[in-house]
Chains A and B, each alone.
Chain A
């Protein structure tokens, strides 16, 4: 059972470059999320998608974009990377019902360093 797969696991890139972090889930969850994790700040939501074809902004969306063309994939793009986007990025998915959000399943993270 794969669950959530993120790629790459680690990347170093120069400021100003474009970067896409990939995320794929095989659980047919309707909702997917991107978080960034920074020391002392916990996890902060960047963007989310409640279902294929829709996306929404989280707490810290600036500088990031997402798309949800199908249920399984939820890529995160940095159009022009800046050093403040150095972080560990986690993709997650959940089954959201009328009773609210179920358990979040997380990928193992993508460590991004912007120089």
Chain B
């Protein structure tokens, strides 16, 4: 069975400092992994995805994530936070062998960016 755990429900950083949002997954197969962002009262938008190519994945808005199979992790990072990064972030896992196309969402991490 697949699962995903976001280790922090809330992260607070100062503008201009690095961001780290942690995600661990459990999967019986080589998974596809995604990070989505949700701004207040909006739908979810894809930040980046890992699909068994390069382990370091670059996404939009300066975010990147590294797939570490030995640690079953897919942490999201950004070198310098911007006020507009304040949002809810979801780590998501998909089973590539599944024909149902279902994704499993983490419970989300709220990122607060202080001026």
Contacts and interface: CB of A to CB of B under 8 A. Distances in A.
A and B together in one complex:
yes
Interface of A: 4, 31, 33, 35, 40-45, 48, 50, 56, 58, 90, 92, 94, 96, 99-101, 103-104, 106-109
B43 A48 contact: no
Interface of B: 32, 34, 36, 41-46, 49, 51, 90, 94-103, 105-108
A100 B105 contact: no
Given A40-B107, A100-B32, A100-B97, A108 B102 contact: no
B101 A48 contact: yes
Contact of A4 (B32, B43, B90, B95): B43
A51 B37 CA distance: 27
Listed from nearest, the 5 A-B pairs whose CB atoms lie closest are A100-B96, A106-B43, A96-B101, A42-B107, A101-B101
A78 to B, nearest CB: 20
A100 B30 CA distance: 11
Contacts of B94: 100-101
Contacts of B100: 48, 50, 56
Contacts of B99: 50, 96
A94 B41 CA distance: 22
Given A42-B106, A109-B43, A100 B49 contact: no
Given A42-B108, A101-B94, A107 B101 contact: no
A107 B38 CA distance: 11
8 contacts: A4-B43, A33-B101, A42-B107, A92-B44, A94-B101, A96-B99, A104-B34, A104-B36
